[in-house]
Structure 1
């Protein structure tokens, strides 16, 4: 995600995002240091293709990326430490963190000393964070490295990442319940979209930021996780511009949106902090002339739907889509 996020890191670290929380499996959280259901050794293969061996399922876990933090927490395992806890609280609402979770620094530059001080038995991170960091951490703790995104198969990748974490922490039953609930939610959302006469309708998903007087818009093209979710429930991504191969993301400006001429397009956007669409573009003549703006088919997502998250965030996103098309 490094290439997709470099331009964004200076603002709110957008990534690289409903109103109702999806149910968490009915089981007590594992809390830091609590024994897992089984103490048998565990061997898993991470996103590097590296085999990682654990003496027993991990209970003291540090997570350095929000997507993995959400998945871990949704499995009922509260991390002992996480990167950018404040940012997570702003951008991710699907799986909330306990006040006990220690902040170990930013996602770009986590503190090795802070991580070490927590005496974790496992660290979760993404490969596009500094490779030297992996080597530093592996001197004292097993590390699972994730790809974070794959625009050729993001829904399958998400499921695999969840199952990988679940195996490492002894929560495979919880993962199965989460994925069953996810599949049911997607089927239900698809049925509601169709019943509203919106099957096949074009959509655009975006976020954005302002630097000086320049407003940049990031489009979630085909292959982005939330694009895959939207298409899974019956919609069609109208953005066909250039996107990166890993995340399915492309950057443009307001002029770049003028090719979106289909009057049925609805634009969804994410802005839990600075809202450049409602504020920065309010007086922009080009913006006001766009068909979806003229027809008031612009929908801001509820705050806290992480667009690079796990099953629970994806369910929140599907719920927001359904609400927009059935209101």
Structure 2
């Protein structure tokens, strides 16, 4: 009976699996992962997009997508997961987001105890596609990953082909009243460009602290206010007295967007491009009647 069962499993699913993560380390699995814990919510959404949300066995405290994740046990936060809980759940793959030194502390702890931990960067669409491809490999979902990547590339190309000059200068507010803006190194900045605009903040960082005087100097055409965990209750523009002179405020080009759509890299980043492309299209109708 065992031999018959083995014959029904594709040979590729029985072979050892290797990928290189974004720390340059080789992640080796004896078989496709079946028990996964992601320490950053975007990876849950990517796996769900590949049709593999059934492989997720836990979540971090703030994860709510896909909906099925809410029934999973919580293992703490992205930067401070409960390592003992993770060990007790016996995952065959843990996934962490790169880019912050604190994120590597739980990685080292779990690796020393024999767990496979992959660290991936997610700062732009090309990195997103690379992560999708490697997670497809690790979960025996390469065909689905290839299809989803091809579809997203096609949609981005279609939206970009429809982009015509001029490109509006856009300011993306990550937080206020301590004003933080999306810099050039963020996924939000790439979404601005792919949708047909440009980030008026030139700094290369993901997040940039700015004074209100600098914002007044930039005087963007469109102002995006993200609403979410980082900016939970955005202050209405009418209550920001220095902002009244901004051209975008006078023209009504201030728009509130969902932080988890615009700032969390993942499958919904394409939806962010679509939403912003519509905003930009309407702006062009006003400036070029």
Q: TM-score, normalised by structure 2?
A: 0.83
Partner of 1:50: 25
Does the 8 A contact of 2:219 with 2:246 survive in 1? Answer: yes
State the 1:303 CA deviation. Answer: 6.4
The answer to whether the 8 Å contact 1:68/1:309 transfers is no
Aligned to 1:224: 186
Residue 114 (1) aligns with residue 70 (2):
no
Q: CA RMSD in A?
A: 2.4
1:251 to 187, 200, 209: 209
Structure 1 residue 306, shift from structure 2 partner: 4.6
- How many positions carry a matched residue from both structures? 266
Distance 2:281 2:270 in 1: 16
- Contiguous gaps of at least 5 residues in structure 2: 1-8, 283-289
Task: Determine which structure has the larger helix proportion and give its number.
Answer: 2
Distance 2:258 2:279 in 1: 11
Q: Give the aligned partner of residue 110 of structure 2.
A: 137
1:235 to 191, 197, 206: 197
Distance (whole Å) between structure 2 residues aligned to residue 81 and residue 57 of structure 1: 18
Q: CA deviation at 1:109?
A: 0.6
SS at match of 1:104: coil
Query: Following TM superposition, by how much is the alpha carbon of 1:155 offset from its aligned partner in structure 2, in angstroms?
Result: 2.5
Distance 2:44 2:104 in 1: 19
1:71 maps to which of 36, 46, 56 = 46
Matched, 1:286 2:242: yes
Partners of 2:96 and 2:120 within 8 A in 1? yes
- Correspondence for 1:83: 60
Output one character per residue of 1:252-288: Cα deviation in whole Å (capped at 9) or x when no partner: 24333111235xx11112103623242xx53222112
Give the C-alpha shift of residue 163 in structure 1. 1.4
Larger Rg: 2
User: Gaps (5+ residues) in structure 1?
Assistant: 1-34, 210-214
Contact 1:207–1:269 under 8 Å retained in 2: yes
Higher relative CO (CA 8 A, sep ≥ 6), structure 1 or 2? Answer: 1
| Aligned counterpart for 2:132 among listed residues 162, 165, 186 | 162
**Structure 2 partner of 1:25:** none
1:11 corresponding residue in structure 2? none
Provide the rounded CA distance (Å) in 2 between the counterparts of 1:224 and 1:207.
Answer: 11
1:187 to 147, 157, 167: 157
The separation in 1 between residues aligned to 2:92 and 2:254, in whole angstroms, is: 45
Q: CA deviation at 1:225?
A: 1.3
Deviations 1:139-189 (A, max 9, x none): 13211012343xxxx322222122122211111111111111211221232
Deviations 1:221-268 (CA, angstroms, capped at 9, x unpaired): 22321211321233222222x342xxx321124333111235xx1111
Q: Separation in 2 of the partners of 1:100 and 1:283?
A: 40
Give me the whole-angstrom Cα distance separating, in 2, the residues matched to 1:74 and 1:320.
19
Q: Which one is further off, 231-240 or 301-310?
A: 301-310
Structure 1-normalised TM-score? 0.74
Which range moved further: 116-125 or 220-229?
Answer: 220-229
CA–CA separation in structure 1 for the residues paired with 2:194 and 2:262? 18
Alignment partners' CA distance in 1, 2:166 and 2:152: 20
Q: 1:302 to 1:326 in 2, by over 3 A?
A: farther
2:270 is matched with: 315
Distance 1:277 1:39, change over 3 A: farther
- In structure 2, relative to structure 1, the CA distance for the partners of 1:205 and 1:96 (3 Å cut) is farther
